[in-house]
Structure 1
Amino acid sequence: MKAIILSGGKGTRLRPLTYTGAKQLVPVANKPILWYGIEAIVAAGITDIGIIISPETGEEVKLKTGDGERFGANITYILQEKPAGLAHAVKVARPFLGDDPFVMYLGDNLIQSELGSFLNDFKEQHMDALILLRPVANPTAFGVAQVDAQGRVLHLVEKPKVPPSNLALVGIYFFANTIHDAIDRIRPSARGELEITDAIQDLINYQKQVEARRIEGWWLDTGKKDDLLEANQIILDTCLQSDMAGEVDAQSQIFGRVRVGSGSRLINCTVRGPVTIGRDCHLENCFIGPYSSIADQVTLVDVDLEHSVILQGATVTGIHQRIVDSVIGQRARLKAAPQRPKALRFMIGDDSQIELT
């Protein structure tokens, strides 16, 4: 059994961050989104993983993620020259996949459920495809499935105007090698892409065994700022454990679950967890409120922060209004002069410099 993780695409919904980096490397609770998928796949017992990369961000993904040793996996990088659809990504990965069954995992998705039980069902029942579903309030924004009482998939449609159900396809799929013939038979959709929903529908049309399972717990698509902040909140809520590897002075106060990385220093700060602070950070005269993630080498001085994600190397100084619901990019510089009466919200890309006057 093999796996492919899609880590290409342009990430338009997370711009400006994704003008300069891969959306799958944006951190949730100080860990790249992509890594959660790798860990979930390895936990299910699959260690031969191909990562689909784009020409624009592929080198960054390779540099950040490496050969897989840290995850106990063997990672192969597969270049997809253009984002021509999920089924096209499978076609590009065919030399890596061979005739092996595989899991396809969209690299900007996070789910609470473990993959092992789904993988066992897929193997034991010799399915051609197994899709994961989750009820959603807005099915017109997703690929949607119609399923019978036994869990067999009857029909799939991509972003329908009139949805046949409220069951959205989660971005994780299990396939036998029969999917390759199905992909060879389909044609590009109206948006010019080879759709994986069309390939799965082709399997259904050829009376192959295509089944669905509903996932329990949360499912997060981190493609937009608010989704990213929600994912950060949920991961901090469910996974964070306290760890004080850094230095916290006597004037600082720590409440709840807080992680402070080695080499970091907190001076006269109040931190209310859940909060994670990376390595080699400097925080002085700050209030850090719940659901904040601060990456490595960040400097915060005279800052009031809550429910936000600060990326590596950013500097924020002299902001006397509370910063909330914000994502501040790598190496960004943000400083202010006079006070303002309201809270501030930001979506700041890498290497930006902003001065509030």
Structure 2
Amino acid sequence: MKALVLCGGHGTRLRPITHTSAKQLVPIANKPVLFYGLEALRDAGVEDVGVVVGDTAEEVCRAVGDGSRFGLRVTYIRQEAPLGLAHAVLIARDYLGDDDFVLYLGDNFLLDGLTGVIDGFRRDRPDARLLLTPVADPGSFGVAELDADGRLTAVEEKPERPRSDLAIMGVYLFTPLVHEAVRSIKPDPRGELEITTAIRWMLERGTRVTSHIVHGYWKDTGRVEDMLECNRLVLESLETRIDGEVDDATEITGRVVIEAGAEVTGSRLVGPLIVGEGAVVRGSYLGPFTSIGPGCVIRDTEVEFSIVMERSSVLGVPRMRDSLLGKDVVITPAAGQPRAHRFVVGDHSRVRLG
């Protein structure tokens, strides 16, 4: 079995972060969200992964490389424009060949991994299998409808009046039959080839399309709030590890990871939190559910419930929370600043508070 991992798209809901960065590489606990998916595929026994890339191809290729760091063999497939999930399958036809495959959206986060799901598909081998989960706002997703016996009967993309609360997750499993489906469907009014249209084509022809309801944690990390929520969840599982330098004037409470090369002086750290390699924290308070990326500088500042990406500096800010900072950001105070701030700041930004 192969995997097709989608890393295209514009990530409009995560702007301004995604003006300069791939949404799949925004970190959760200092590790890009994409890496969690690649590791889950490896753990499920997948070895060959096709990565569909678009405008951020260079950044994704640089981060993932040839896949060997994950125990995978990675092939890159260029998609000239984000023309739908079924279009990605269409252009990957030569790579996928006649193998069964997992279609995985690279910005999705599935806590329980993929091993059970993939093992079940290999055992039962339907023509397609969808993963479903109940959500509060099904109109924002593809939605599945089941009959009284739990059989999949219909799918619809972002319906105005959803017929169920079962969202289609960003993980699909297919046999080669799906290639006939994606060749046969027409683009939607936006010009995209939707995978739900291909699945509907398969259902209408009586092929065996099944579903599996997932009750574990899943998140489409398309919004800042989703990224912060996933960050909190992953940090909950941390075990304390102090590889960097911490002075005697620093107080540490709870589960804290300080990576090698980091320096913490005269500060208070309340976990769960992580301080990345080479970061410097001085005279500051780092509160729960905070990820400080590699090479960051945090000085005379209070930070909690936030993600600060690599090489960013937060200097003299009295209180920052529920924030997502991109790479190479610099935040400094000005006179009369408020007591609390919330930021969503893109890469290479400069912010002066006033």
TM-score where L is the length of structure 1: 0.97
Out of 262, 265, 268, the position equivalent to 1:264 is 262
- Identify the range of structure 1 (86-95 vs 108-117) with the bigger mean alpha-carbon deviation: 108-117
What CA distance in whole angstroms lies between the structure 2 residues aligned with 1:75 and 1:282? 35
What CA distance in whole angstroms lies between the structure 1 residues aligned with 2:92 and 2:40? 20
Q: Deviations over 1:81-137 (max 9, x none)?
A: 100000000111111101100001100101122322222221222200000000011
What CA distance in whole angstroms lies between the structure 2 residues aligned with 1:63 and 1:8? 15
What CA distance in whole angstroms lies between the structure 2 residues aligned with 1:352 and 1:341? 20
Q: Deviations over 1:202-232 (max 9, x none)?
A: 1111101000001122111111111111111
What CA distance in whole angstroms lies between the structure 1 residues aligned with 2:257 and 2:148? 46
Q: Which amino acid aligns with 1:220?
A: K
Residues 83-232 of structure 1 mapped to structure 2, 5 A cutoff: 83-232=82-231
- Aligned-residue offset at 1:355: 1.2
- Aligned-residue offset at 1:191: 1.6
Q: Which amino acid aligns with 2:301?
A: V
Gaps of 5+ in 2: none
**Fraction of identical pairs, as percent:** 44
Q: Given the alignment of the two structures, is residue 349 of structure 1 paired with residue 346 of structure 2, yes or no?
A: yes
Instruction: Give the SS at the match of 1:6.
Output: strand
What CA distance in whole angstroms lies between the structure 2 residues aligned with 1:124 and 1:341? 59
Structure 2 match to 1:311: 309
Q: Deviations over 1:243-271 (max 9, x none)?
A: 10000000001111100011110010101
Gaps of 5+ in 1: none
Q: Deviations over 1:272-304 (max 9, x none)?
A: 000011000111000000000011000011010
Residues 40-119 of structure 1 mapped to structure 2, 5 A cutoff: 40-54=40-54, 56-119=55-118
Instruction: Give the SS at the match of 2:300.
Output: strand
What CA distance in whole angstroms lies between the structure 2 residues aligned with 1:338 and 1:355? 10
What CA distance in whole angstroms lies between the structure 1 residues aligned with 2:114 and 2:338? 48
Name segments (4+ residues, structure 1) moved above 3 Å: 339-342
Q: Deviations over 1:19-41 (max 9, x none)?
A: 11100001010000110110011
What CA distance in whole angstroms lies between the structure 2 residues aligned with 1:323 and 1:290? 12
Instruction: Give the SS at the match of 1:229.
Output: helix
Instruction: Give the SS at the match of 1:64.
Output: helix
Instruction: Give the SS at the match of 1:228.
Output: helix
What CA distance in whole angstroms lies between the structure 1 residues aligned with 2:275 and 2:223? 23
What CA distance in whole angstroms lies between the structure 2 residues aligned with 1:206 and 1:92? 23
Out of 318, 321, 324, the position equivalent to 1:324 is 321
In the alignment, is the contact (CA less than 8 A) between 2:337 and 2:353 conserved in 1? no
- Identify the range of structure 1 (305-314 vs 239-248) with the bigger mean alpha-carbon deviation: 239-248
What CA distance in whole angstroms lies between the structure 2 residues aligned with 1:25 and 1:84? 21
What CA distance in whole angstroms lies between the structure 2 residues aligned with 1:171 and 1:89? 14
Structure 2 match to 1:250: 248
Q: Which amino acid aligns with 1:298?
A: C
Out of 286, 289, 300, the position equivalent to 2:287 is 289
In the alignment, is the contact (CA less than 8 A) between 1:256 and 1:274 conserved in 2? yes
